[in-house]
């Protein structure tokens, strides 16, 4: 799929497997996935390597990585005073 698209860069493909074993492409995102930071945490900075390649630098293939890492995504809601938000967005500080 990637070679036929001639895409150069980070991307994420999402497939679904049917009950009869066939794979179907659901989505192709022309960007690194959100969890790419896991690779950075394991010693492989793919976005940096891609930028270096785009700048014409020689980039060695990644041949090792750290094991025992876990990517955890979390979000939280926070109630803030509107005036504080205005100060941060206009002045950059409280």
Domain shared by 39 and 71, yes or no: yes
- How far apart CA 77 and CA 15 sit, in angstroms, is 31
Cα 24 to Cα 29: distance, rounded to the nearest angstrom: 15
Question: What is the reported pTM?
Answer: 0.64
pLDDT for position 23: 97
Same domain, 49 and 10: no
- What value does the mean pLDDT take over residues 13-38? 94
Confidence of residue 2 (pLDDT cuts 50, 70, 90): confident
Residues 81 and 39 in one domain: yes
Confidence of residue 85 (pLDDT cuts 50, 70, 90): confident
Tally of domains in the chain: 2
Q: Are 36 and 69 in contact (CB under 8 A)?
A: no
73 and 55 in a common domain: yes
Report the candidate in 28, 26, 47 with the shortest Cα–Cα distance to residue 36.
47
Q: What's the pLDDT tens digit per position in 29-80?
A: 999 998 899 999 999 999 999 999 999 999 999 999 999 999 998 888 989 8
Q: Which domain holds residue 1?
A: 1-31
Same domain, 92 and 47: yes
Q: Are residues 25 and 43 in the same domain?
A: no
Tally of residues, the chain: 94
pLDDT at 58: 96
Same domain, yes or no, for 45 and 62?
Answer: yes
């Amino acid at each position: 799929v990637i070679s036929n698209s001639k895409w150069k860069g980070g991307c994420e493909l999402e497939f679904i497997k049917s009950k009869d074993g066939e794979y179907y492409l659901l989505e192709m995102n022309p960007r690194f996935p959100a969890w790419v930071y896991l690779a950075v945490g394991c010693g492989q900075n793919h976005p940096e390597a891609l930028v270096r390649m785009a700048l014409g630098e020689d980039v060695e293939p990644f041949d090792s990585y750290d094991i025992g890492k876990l990517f955890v995504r979390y979000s939280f809601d926070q109630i803030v005073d509107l005036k504080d938000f205005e100060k941060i967005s206009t002045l950059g500080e409280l």
